[in-house]
Chain A
Amino acid sequence: MTPAIESRDLGRRYRRTWALRGCTLALPEGRVIALVGPNGAGKSTLLNLAAGLLQPSEGTLRIFGEPLDDRPAALARISYMAQETALYPTFTVAELLTFGRRLNPGWDDRWARERLSRLRLPSDVPAGRLSGGQRAQVALVLALAKRPRLLLLDEPLASLDPVARHDVMALLMESVAEAGMTVVLSSHIISDLVDTCDWLVTINQGRVQVSGDIDELLATHRLLTGPREALDSLPPRLPVVAHTVNGRQASVLARIGAHRLAPVWTVNEVSLDELVLCYLRQPASSALPGPTSVR
C-alpha cells in the first residue's frame, strides 16, 4: 500500500539552523498517527512540509505517492489545522463556512452546518471573539468539511483547557471514524494521544527516533531491572534505548525481541508514557532505520 506520507532524507533549514534533518519516514494510510517530541523538535516543520506550506531544503517528500505541488488536485487531499488555529479574526463563523465552500470543490456544506449547530457555535460572531476552544472547533470543522484524505493537526490542543480539549478530541475521533482518513496529530502532551492514536512517531532535535505501530512498539519494548553488575552480562546486540543506574540497581529499556536474558533481570511491560519519555530523554537513541546497539 502506498504510504500516506513518505519522506527520504527530508530536511528544512532556517538560515543556519536545521529545524529538521535526515527525516526518512513512511507513514501508513488509514492510521491516526501521533507525532511526539519536545518543543522545537521539528514537529511543526514536518507538518508544515507535509501540508506544502514549507519547501524542503533537502530531500524528497511524497503524499500518497505523489510529490507535493501547488495544484488543486494535490491541495484537495490535505487539510491542515494550525497551532494557533489561524482563522480570519473578522470573519464570522458563517463567513468562514462560506470561505470553505467557495474555496473547496469537495466541500461538505451540510455536514459542516450540522456539525456547527450541534456544537452550538454562534454563526454571526467574528472568529476573533470566540473562545480558544470554540476557535479550535471551528478550525477543525473547516479542516474536516473539506473531506481530505490526510488531516494534519499541529498542536491542535495546545492552548485549550481540559474540557475544550476533550470536546475537540471527541469531534475529531467521531469524524475520523466516519470518514476513515489518515490523521497526523502532533503534541508534546503524551496523555492527549494515548487513547486516540495507533501509530507513534517521536521526533527529537530535528531527527526521527521511532516510527511504528503503538501496539507493536509496546509489545517489543521491555523495562528490565536488575543488579548493576548484570549490565555487563546483557546480550551484546540487545537494542538498549536507555539505561539508568540508581545505587546498586540498574534499569534498562530495550527492544527485547528474541533475546534471552539472564534470570537476574526482572522483565516488565512498559507504558506508552514511559516509552516515549525514555526515547525523548535519549536523543541519540533511535528505533529507525534499524535497531542500534548501545555499548
Chain B
Amino acid sequence: MLWLTWRQHRWQLIGVAVVVAVYCGYLVYAGLQAHQASQVLDACSSGSGAGLPSPSCESASSTVNDVHSSMINVVTFGNLLPLAVGMFWGAPLISRELEQGTYRLTFTQTVSRRRWLAVKLGILSGAAALLGTVTGAVVSWSQQGANEPFGDDRLFSQAGAVPAATWVFALLTGATLGLLRRTTAAIAVTLVALPLVFAGLLFLRPHYLPPAERLVGGSAMIQGEAPSNDPRGWLFSVSYLDRTGRELSPSAAGTVCADPANTFPSPQCLDRTGLRQRIVYHPTDRYPWFQLIEMGILLTAAGAMALVIRWRVSRHLV
C-alpha cells in the first residue's frame, strides 16, 4: 500500500513540495536580507555606528521596508498553497479511481477498502501536515519584527502551527469532493469551495472568544487612529466614555476636546475632560488559544469528512 500510494501520488507530492521549497526559500532569503538590514539600522540608531554615513542608514531603512512589504505580499499569496493540496492530492484520490474504473482493480485485491483509505489518507495527511508545519515555521520566522500574526488576516492562517491543520483540511475537502466522481469537476469545485471556507474563517475568527474590554486614562491610551494590531493585542474598536458613561466615537470625542492640532483626543485632553478610552480587543496572550481554536475547527471538520469518505468508500461507493 505504501508503494501504491507513492506510485500514484508521487508527481503531485513532488510538485507541491517543490512549490513549498521555492516559497520557503524566498522567505528565508528575504528574511535574512531584512535581518541584515535591520542590524545596520540598529547600529545607526544606537549611536555605536555614529561613524556610519547616514546614506547607508537610509538605504538600510528602505531595504527593510521594501523587503517587509514584498514578503507580506508573497505571504498573502501563500494562503493559496493549501488549494494545491486539495486540488491535486485530495480531489483525484477517489474520483480518478471511479472515473478510470480502476477501483474495480484495487478493491478486488487482498486489501480491505478501509485499509486502502486509511493508508492513503494517512500518508497524504502526514505529508500535508509536514509541509504545512514547514511553511508555518518559515513564515513565522521571516515575519519576526515585521508583522504580528495575531489580528493580521494575511498572516494568521500562515503562521505557527495553523497551516498544518489548514493543509490537512484542504486535503480532506478535496478528497470528499472527489466523491463527485469526475476528477475535473472535483478539482474545480475544490478550487471554489476552499477560498469560500477560508473567507468564512476570516469572518468567524474575531468571534472565537468574546473580546476583552479595558477602560484607560490618558497615560495608557492608544493615540491617533488605532491600528488593527498593537502591542496590546488584536484591537477591534476604540471609543470614549464621558463622565456620565455615554459612549462617544473617536471623532465625537475629538470634537469634545476641540484641540486644533489633533482630530483624535490627546492624553492631555483625556486628563483635562475626564474622558476615558474604551478599548475592545483580544489581548496578545490569547494568540495561542486562537491558534488552537482555529486548528480545532479545521481538524474536526477534516475528521468528519474522513468519516464521510470512509462510510462511502466502504459501502456505498457505486
Chain A: residues with CB nearer than 8 A to chain B?
48, 51-55, 70-72, 75-76, 78-80, 82, 84, 86-89, 91, 95, 98-100, 102-106, 139, 142, 146
Q: Which residues of chain B (88-113) have a CB below 8 Å from chain A?
A: 100-113
- Tally B residues with Cβ within 8 Å of A: 25
Known contacts A98-B3, A99-B4; is A88 also within 8 Å of B100 by CB? yes
B316 within 8 A of A: yes
Most buried by B among A51, A84, A103: A103
Q: Is the CB of B110 within 8 A of A105?
A: yes
Q: Is the CB of A79 within 8 A of B4?
A: no
Task: Tell me, rounded to whole Å, the shortest Cβ–Cβ distance linking B316 to chain A.
Answer: 7
Please name 5 further chain A to chain B contacts, defined as beta carbons within 8 Å, in addition to the given A75-B110, A80-B104, A99-B7, sorted by A numbering: A80-B108, A82-B104, A86-B101, A88-B102, A146-B109
Q: Is the CB of A88 within 8 A of B114?
A: no
B197 within 8 A of A: no
Q: Is the CB of B110 within 8 A of A76?
A: yes
Chain B: residues with CB nearer than 8 A to chain A?
1, 3-4, 7-8, 100-115, 314-316, 318
Q: Is the CB of A70 within 8 A of B314?
A: yes
Chain B's closest residue to A106 (CB) is B110
Q: Is the CB of B318 within 8 A of A54?
A: yes
Most buried by A among B8, B103, B104, B318: B104
Partner pick for A52 among B1, B107, B115, B316, CB 8 A cutoff: B107
| Complex CA distance for A285 and B105, rounded to whole angstroms | 36
Q: Is the CB of B112 within 8 A of A72?
A: yes
Known contacts A70-B112, A102-B1, A105-B110; is A53 also within 8 Å of B318 by CB? yes
Q: Which residues of B contact A105 (CB under 8 A)?
A: 110
Q: Which residues of A contact B7 (CB under 8 A)?
A: 91, 95, 99
Can you spell out 19 A-B residue pairs with CB atoms less than 8 angstroms apart?
A48-B104, A53-B108, A70-B314, A72-B110, A75-B109, A80-B104, A80-B108, A84-B101, A86-B100, A86-B103, A86-B105, A91-B7, A99-B109, A100-B109, A102-B1, A103-B111, A104-B110, A142-B105, A146-B109
Q: Is the CB of B108 within 8 A of A87?
A: no
Partner pick for B109 among A86, A104, A139, CB 8 A cutoff: A104
Q: Is the CB of A88 within 8 A of B105?
A: yes
Q: Is the CB of B4 within 8 A of A53?
A: no
Q: Which residues of B contact A51 (CB under 8 A)?
A: 104, 108
Task: Tell me, rounded to whole Å, the shortest Cβ–Cβ distance linking A226 to chain B.
Answer: 50
> Sorted from nearest, which 4 A-B pairs have the closest CB atoms?
A86-B101, A103-B109, A80-B108, A76-B110
Task: Tell me, rounded to whole Å, the shortest Cβ–Cβ distance linking B181 to chain A.
Answer: 14
Task: Tell me, rounded to whole Å, the shortest Cβ–Cβ distance linking B116 to chain A.
Answer: 9
Partner pick for A86 among B1, B102, B111, B114, CB 8 A cutoff: B102
Q: Which residues of B contact A78 (CB under 8 A)?
A: 108
| Complex CA distance for A95 and B113, rounded to whole angstroms | 21
Q: Which residues of B contact A82 (CB under 8 A)?
A: 101, 104-105
Q: Which residues of B contact A142 (CB under 8 A)?
A: 105
| Complex CA distance for A72 and B107, rounded to whole angstroms | 10
| Complex CA distance for A106 and B3, rounded to whole angstroms | 18
Q: Which residues of A contact B8 (CB under 8 A)?
A: 88
